[in-house]
């Protein structure tokens, strides 16, 4: 009887471990979800953010500065593909080091 309980507990633990491993390895990443396919705008948390498929990241402008999202909002230096094509170029220059910029605090859409 004691061995039967031990085998039952061990089987349950192995099954739970296999299920957790299957779920964690087969679930797609957030950025690969179908709703992230293609360039698009999304209104979330009171702000309009732009998803650029080529760069695979979110962008935002407060009207004065551009920002991209990488675990936090950072000033964007137009160093990726977004803004290179089909973009009206103006006199915008990325703020240099030492300039104080108030970065956005709103979040991004994560399904």
pTM over cut 0.75: no
pLDDT at position 25: 44
Across the range 56-85, mean pLDDT stands at: 84
pLDDT at position 103: 81
Scan for tokens 């797609």, then name that residue.
28
User: pLDDT tens digits, residue range 71-111?
Assistant: 889 888 877 777 666 666 667 677 778 888 888 888 887 76
Q: Of all helices (H) and strands (E), which one includes residue 52? A: strand 47-52
4: phi then psi, degrees, rounded to nearest 5: -65, -40
């Amino acid at each position: 009887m004691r061995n039967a309980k031990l085998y039952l507990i061990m089987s349950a633990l192995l099954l739970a471990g296999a299920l957790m491993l299957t779920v964690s390895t087969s679930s797609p990443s957030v950025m690969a979800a179908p709703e992230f396919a293609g360039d698009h705008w999304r209104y979330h948390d009171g702000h309009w953010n732009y998803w650029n498929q080529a760069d695979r990241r979110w962008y935002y402008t407060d009207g004065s500065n551009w920002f991209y999202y990488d675990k936090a909002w950072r000033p964007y230096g137009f160093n990726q593909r977004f803004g290179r094509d089909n973009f009206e170029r103006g006199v915008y220059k990325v703020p240099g080091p030492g300039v104080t910029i108030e970065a956005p605090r709103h979040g991004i859409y994560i399904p």
